[in-house]
Structure formats: structure tokens, C-alpha cells
Structure 1
Amino acid sequence: MRGFRKKNRPVDIDDISIVDQSKSKQAIIAAALGNAIEWFDFGVYGYVAYILGKVFFPHASPSIQLIAALATFSVPFLFRPLGGIIFGRLGDKYGRQKVLSTTIILMTLSTCAIGLLPGYETIGIWAPILLLVIKILQGISVGGEYSGAVIFVAEYAPDRKRGFMGSWLDFGSIAGFLLGAGTVSLLTYLMGAEKFNDWGWRIPFIISLPLGLVGMYLRHALEETPAYQQHSESDQKQKKFSFKELLATHKRSLLLCIGLVLCTNVTYYMVLTYLPSYFTHNLHYDEAQGNLIIIAVMIGMLFVQPLIGWLSDKWGRRPFIFIGSLALIFLSYPAFKLLDSHESSLIFSGLIILALALNMLIGVMASTLPALFPTAIRFSALAIAFNISIVIAGLTPTLTATLVESSGNLMIPAFYLMVFGVVGIITAINLKETANKPLFGAAPLATSEEEAAELLEEFHGTIEERIEKIDEKILALQKKRQSLADKHPEID
């Protein structure tokens, strides 16, 4: 694998890494599986939130039980920035592969522990306390998981396929959520609601253990990413990470990252975590009916997800962020009206609208975010910005449930999505297109010698364009200087 060895010399064909496609596929599978486990837990938790409320908060009213269970889901998000700081720094210093092998172990063990935790009737107040502790530990591990997985795939992906390959990461998210929701529905059907509510809800959490062991094995077997190897082999010294310096030099990138993550993940948590409880508790739908409709929509999302990623390599990332954000602004209210129609076909249509808007955003997020930061600080910067945003986005189920309960307005979720649709539009306007370009500060990445030659020509062409723009600015400044100098008698 070729390395981008020198910082201050011409980039030639020997500097472009040729990536083995089989290794790229392995990287996608290993990263996506960890993401799937994360969202498997979210899917299960969202679908059994009402049961957890009864098990861990039995003396509260049904509404308070639901809000308390969702709050337990949301509180760990407050600790994700801590995990981002810890694992982000480790990922930039010691490599992406080592960190991802660690986070998947912590995440798997904490998810499994929920299924083994005694309820309130057995250990009293310690039950909800231990549940919260487990979720906090899970939040810390997840703080490094998604950011690391996004970077891992992006740094393994060739420039011309980064959108398509990155889209499979959130394919894993949807698949994991689908597997979690499907497991809950299947167990409820096989065991009956009474047995499932009594003890069967524990099984899905315990299932995460073998999944995590497979993911750990796959990640441990992979090499470090080409981009990180290039950085490690270069003569650039590892600087001590400074959040103050990050804000000073990459403020724009941080804000763009936060904006895209907020818009995408608020939609994600609204559609895939909050809606199951919204259907059952607020719209009073039959639980099985609501679950089956959402599962059907998620299956459709699986097919759309890689298509969006592939198209983004052709058309760019920004058009899809625009489309997804505009859909949230103008179609969220009609979609939630359809959800409240009590007709299966109309409910399905409303979910399709929301799901497609979500697909547009998550289809490009994994390929857009890593391109915002240079290799040396990519993990630290992305983990911090991503997890700060997740603190806000993760409160979506709890805040929405509370607002609906207090106001009695079933359209609150639609208004909530519309606000963050505006955030998405602002982000898209200020975002520079990154499709088919090397990652920030890295040499181009190709799949063959022929593609390497083409990328090198494009890379040099881009540099020429940038130099021309700088020359134009210099000329304009020179003219401005001369104009001012002409007004002064002692300046030539």
C-alpha cells in the first residue's frame, strides 16, 4: 500500500494508495456490524420501553412509566461526549482499528447486561439505578463507536465509491434496528404478550452477546486504514490535541458537522425510536399492527439506503441533504396527519414519507462527515462534534413524549421535525461538495492503477483551480493596495 510520505513535495502516482477491494468490503462489514449492534439495542429498547417502565418504575402512572423509560434511554446521551473525547483522542494517537475493537466489547457487554438485570420487585430502587449505570457505560462506549466506524469506512473507501460504501454503515443501523424490532415482534408472537412482558423481553438484549463476539473478531482481523497509515508514516509529528485550537482552526467544519448530525439523528430517533410508543400510547393502535407497519417501512429503507449512497457519488452529497431537509419542513405535518388516520394504507404512506426523508440524510452522512476534518484530528474532532449533537438529538423521544403529554397536541412531533429541517437547509447551503474528492489533507485513494492516474490528474487540476483563485484574490488585493497607496504622498 502506497503512502503519502512527504508533506512539502509534489504528489505523484506513487503517493496514491491502491486499496484492495476485498479489504474495503471487510472494513464495511466489520464497521456496520458494530453499528448494527448499537441500533439493535435502540430498536429493542424503543419497542419494549413500556415494559421496562413497568419493570423498573412499577409504582408510577402509565404515562410517567413511559417517560421514565424513555428518559433512561436519553440520559446516557449526556455521557457520549465524554466517550467521544476519550476514544477520539485514542483513535488519533493509536489508530482506528484498536479503538473500534475496544468499543464493540464495551457496547456488547453493556447491552447484554440489561437483559440480566433484576427488576424493581427483586432489588428495589437499585434496579432503576443499575439500569441507568449500564446505559451510561453504554453511552460512553457508543461515544467512540459510530464516529470511529464512520472514519474507518471512509478511510478505507476509494474516493469515487465513498458515498456508496459509507451508506452501508447506516444500512447496518437500519438492519440492526429492524433485527431488534423483528426479534421483539417474533418473540411476542411465539411466547404471547403475557410471557414476553414477564421475562421474554430479556432475550433480545442477551442475543447481542454472540453478535458482538463476531464483530470483535472481524475488527481485530483488519489492518489499520490507509489514511491513518499514510499519516503515521509521514514526517508530521503528532500534536497534543487542543479543543481551543480545534475551535479556532475548524470552527466551520464543527458547525457543519453538528448541523448535519442534528437534522439526521433527530429524524432517526423520532421515526425509529419514538414512533412505536407514539402509536401504542398516544394513537391507541394495536401494538402488533403498528410494529408490523414500521418493520415493513424499514425493510424498504434497506433497499433505498445503498441507492442513495451510490447516487451521491454521481450527483454529490449536498442535493440529498437539501431534499431530505425540505421534506422535513414541508411534509412532516401531512405525514403525521396520515399517521393519525387510523387507516393502514394511509399510516403506511405517512411512514414512507418520513422514511424517505430519513434515507436522504443518512444515505450521505457517513461519507460527508469524515471529509470535514484532516487525518491527524479526524477522530477527535468528529467524535466531539458528533456526540455534542447526539446529546440534543438523543433527547428527542423524551422531549417529544413530554410535550405531547403536556400539550395534548399530537402534531408536536411534526413541528419538532420541521425545526430541524431548517437546520438541515442551513447546513446544506454552507457545505462544500466532497463527492469524488480525497479526504481532507489526504492523497487520493483508488482501486486500480488506471483509476489512480485519473484521480491524480483530477487532484492536480483541483490544485490548479485553487491556485488560480488565490492569484485572483492576490491581484485584487494588489489593486486595492495601489489604490490606497495612490492617496498617500509617501507610499509608492
Structure 2
Amino acid sequence: MSATVTSTSPAQNPATTRTAMLGLGLGNTLEWYDWMLFGLVSAYIGPHFFPSHDPVASTLSALAVFAMGFAVRPLGGVLLGAVADRVGRRQIMILSVALMALTTLVIAVAPTYQQIGVWSGVILLVCRLVQGVSTGIEAPLSTAYAVEVSPPGREARAAGYISLFVNLGIVLASLVSFFTSLVLGAAAMQDWGWRVPFVIGAVIGLLVLYLRRALPETLHESERGETSVWRGVGRHWLGLVAMIFVVGAAQAYNYAWTVGLPNLARSTFKEDPTPVFAASTALGLVLLAGSPLVGWLADRFKLSRTFTVTRLLAVPAVFLMLLYSRPGLGGLFGVVLGGSIVLVLNMTLYNLVATSLMPKYCRATGVALGYGVAVAVFGGTASYLLIWLQSNALVWIFPVYVAALSLISVVLYLAARRTSGAFAGE
């Protein structure tokens, strides 16, 4: 079957669209601020909740909890995505932000292992599982919503806009961690200062909840699925498989750069945390500035062509990480920033590509399922795998792994477009 293009929705009033996109975007900022913050401060959280004489072992324990949050994303995505396809988008997007804000506050005030023993780790794990459910629907549904609320022909720019807010959250997590470490010092940061960024995240959550109340509904009564939702996902099974690898390759690359390398620097190479946070912040700024530009390029030169070229560029780019094989801040900055350009190209487009592979009536369910499986299998394990391979002198395996995922994602994407068609962004 040849690829077909289906318009998602008519253009809305510009003022309504701007208001909707602001509330939508800031919700993504909160989600990714909270999510990335845990990864950035895992080296501090580990000794408080999983005590060990080996700092690498403590960090790996915290990163294992980080990965468990990814493991439940498919569950959250499927359950909440099916609801979003049946009753609408708005209420689910409010719920996802509320869950993230509440659990962030709990982490900020959670007692440590020294205070309540193993229950501290249980509390931390439960919070991460709830946050996994929240993020499992937030990321795929927000891009789908942005496409549905945007005029035809501007879908990639809408995805770039959402990616900008996602990267704003990542930058804020890095900036807040950097300034907290700078003001309090390494000792205080290790002791209690890591809690401060979580408190800030909880406060941001209250503002976002207020703003999201103004989101309009984009799924009309005639478009709401009944039993046809899962039948539609099954009909487009190749698109589902393709989006798992499209999302998975991007997320493996992303978490290696944003979480794996900073934790490798602090726990394995014993780098000073303040410049490490500075490197993470610089990476976030590149992602922040580049997202709108990539969206514009995809609208101008066609989504499928832009995606294919940028994904193939990831194959050589991921091997840059091999240059950071021993302590040295120069090497860290070089690798982080050197891989940032190709990273922003991939991170801006992957959710729009996933959205384009499912029709509107089953989009939330299908994209949430594909996204959740991808980040659980490939994204959530990336930072743990990178540090484990480094500790066993096998780090060269990681870029080979990501390169293979990238090539597979291109093949499956092109096959899915040819078989089922494209439903947005073309």
C-alpha cells in the first residue's frame, strides 16, 4: 500500500492554539525536569537509600530504580492511552502532571535508609513507578495533541515546540543542580542539598496544574474509539514495531549523553560535580536552541527524508563516547558537546515520527504502547548499561549497540510507511 497523508484537524483560532501549546509545553517541562533530575543526582541519592562501601555500587542501585520507572511506562501508556482515545486527551494530561508533581514532593522529603531502613528504598521505588506511569502517557500524548491542535503543514514545527519545552525541563534540571552544588558545596550537596531541586520541581508543579486546566479537548465525539481502538493498533502492527525502534534508538542515545556520561564522570572518574553539571547544562542549551530549527527543517524538507538522514548520522556520532575513557573534564565536555548536534536532530523528531505511524482514532493507545516499550527496553537501561560496561572494560559495546538500533529503526520506519501509510507530518 502506498503512503497516504491524513490531516489531523483543522486549524484553530491562533490565540486558542497559543494558550493550549503553552499549557501543554510547560507540562512537558515539569515532567522532564523531574525525570532528568533523578538521573542527574543518582550519585547522591544512592548512598542515602542504598548504602554501600562502593560508590559505584550505590550509584548503580539508584540507576536501577531509575530504570524501573521506565519498566512501567508501557503499562501507564496503555491504560491511560486507551482512556485518552475513548474519553479525550485533556483530563489525562492534567492527571499525568498531578502524579509527577506529587511524587516529586515525596522524594524531596523522603526519609533515608539510616532513618527507616529498607522502607526508604521502597518509598523511592514506588515514587519512580508512579512517575513512570505518568511519563508513559505524557511524552507520546503531548506530541499527538500538539499535532492535532496545529494547522496542516506545521506539524513538525509543533513537535519542535514541544521538544523545546522538554529540553527546557532538562536544562532547568541541570541548571538548578549546578547552582545548588555551586552555592552549597560538594559536602552539603551530598548530605542534603540534592533535595532542594526536588522541592523546586514540586512548586513548579502547582503552576503547571493551574495552566493545564485551560487545555481544550481535541478528540471530538465522532472520533472517539470504542472497540475499534485495539483493532486499529493491530491493523498497524508494523508501525507499532517501527516506532519501538525509532523511539528506542533515540532514547538510548539520549540517556547515554544526559544521564550515563554525567554519572560515569562522578561515580567512576570522580570528577568535580559542579563542572559536570555545567557540561549537562551546556548540552541542554544546545538541545533547547536546536529543537525549533529541526522542526522547521522537517516541515520544509519532508519528515521522512529529514528523519532518515538525521537517524543515519547517529550511527557514527554515538562512537564519540569512546573518547571519554579516563578522567578529564576536557574529554567530558568534548564528547558531550560533540554528540549534541546529532542528538538534537534525533530527539526533536522521534515522537512526531511515532505519531505519524498511527491514525488519530487509536493514536494515543498505539503511540503510548510503542513509546513505553521502547523507553523501558532501550532508554531506561542505557545509563545503567553504559556504566556497567565501563566498569568491566567493555564500553565499546555500547556505541555498537546504539548504532545497530539506529539502522534497524530506519529500515522498519520505511517499511511501515510503505505498508500502512503516514498519518501526520508529511
- TM-score by length of structure 2 reads 0.91
CA distance, structure 1, for counterparts of residue 235 and residue 295 of structure 2: 29
Structure 1 residue 404 displacement after superposition: 2.3
* Number of residue pairs the alignment of both structures matches: 415
Whether contact under 8 Å (1:163, 1:310) holds in the other structure is: yes
Give the alignment of 1:61-210 within 5 angstroms.
Answer: 61-210=54-203
- CA deviation vs aligned residue, 1:128-161 (integer Å, no higher than 9, x gap): 1111111111111222211221111111011111
Match of 1:19 among 12, 15, 18: 12
Amino acid at match of 1:212: G
CA distance, structure 2, for counterparts of residue 305 and residue 423 of structure 1: 24
CA distance, structure 1, for counterparts of residue 275 and residue 9 of structure 2: 53
- Alignment RMSD (CA, Å): 2.3
CA distance, structure 1, for counterparts of residue 423 and residue 228 of structure 2: 23
Structure 1 residue 345 displacement after superposition: 5.5
- TM-score by length of structure 1 reads 0.79
Whether contact under 8 Å (2:265, 2:327) holds in the other structure is: no
* Cα gap change, 1:438 to 1:253, in 2 (>3 Å): closer
Structure 1 residue 61 displacement after superposition: 2.0
CA distance, structure 2, for counterparts of residue 192 and residue 294 of structure 1: 18
Structure 1 unaligned blocks of 5 or more = 1-14, 441-461, 463-492
Whether contact under 8 Å (1:167, 1:366) holds in the other structure is: no
CA distance, structure 2, for counterparts of residue 95 and residue 348 of structure 1: 44
Whether contact under 8 Å (2:46, 2:59) holds in the other structure is: yes
* Cα gap change, 1:291 to 1:412, in 2 (>3 Å): farther
CA distance, structure 2, for counterparts of residue 178 and residue 344 of structure 1: 19
CA distance, structure 1, for counterparts of residue 9 and residue 120 of structure 2: 55
Match of 2:407 among 422, 437, 452: 422
Structure 1 residue 35 displacement after superposition: 1.5
Structure 1 residue 353 displacement after superposition: 3.2
* Cα gap change, 1:18 to 1:43, in 2 (>3 Å): closer
Whether contact under 8 Å (2:94, 2:209) holds in the other structure is: yes
Does residue 295 of structure 2 align to residue 302 of structure 1? no
Question: Which secondary structure state, in structure 2, belongs to the residue aligned with residue 17 of structure 1?
Answer: coil
CA distance, structure 1, for counterparts of residue 156 and residue 268 of structure 2: 38
* Cα gap change, 1:348 to 1:373, in 2 (>3 Å): same
Structure 1 residue 174 displacement after superposition: 1.4
Structure 2 unaligned blocks of 5 or more = 1-7
Deviates more, 1:110-119 or 1:336-345: 336-345
> 1:381 maps to which residue?
366
Structure 1 residue 223 displacement after superposition: 1.4
Structure 1 residue 246 displacement after superposition: 4.2
Whether contact under 8 Å (1:321, 1:428) holds in the other structure is: no
Whether contact under 8 Å (2:271, 2:329) holds in the other structure is: no
Amino acid at match of 2:47: K
CA distance, structure 2, for counterparts of residue 329 and residue 16 of structure 1: 35
> 1:239 maps to which residue?
226
> 2:352 maps to which residue?
367
- CA deviation vs aligned residue, 1:96-128 (integer Å, no higher than 9, x gap): 011101111011111221111000000011011
Structure 1 residue 319 displacement after superposition: 2.9
- CA deviation vs aligned residue, 1:59-87 (integer Å, no higher than 9, x gap): 35222111101001001211111111221
* Cα gap change, 1:140 to 1:343, in 2 (>3 Å): closer
Structure 1 residue 268 displacement after superposition: 1.3
Whether contact under 8 Å (1:27, 1:152) holds in the other structure is: no
CA distance, structure 2, for counterparts of residue 16 and residue 425 of structure 1: 28
> 1:413 maps to which residue?
398
Structure 1 residue 214 displacement after superposition: 1.7
> 2:310 maps to which residue?
324
Match of 1:312 among 298, 303, 317: 298
CA distance, structure 1, for counterparts of residue 136 and residue 281 of structure 2: 27
Larger radius of gyration: 1
Quote the sequence identity (%).
Answer: 24
Whether contact under 8 Å (1:305, 1:359) holds in the other structure is: yes
Match of 1:214 among 207, 223, 230: 207
Whether contact under 8 Å (1:283, 1:340) holds in the other structure is: no
CA distance, structure 2, for counterparts of residue 402 and residue 255 of structure 1: 28
Whether contact under 8 Å (1:338, 1:346) holds in the other structure is: yes
> 2:321 maps to which residue?
336
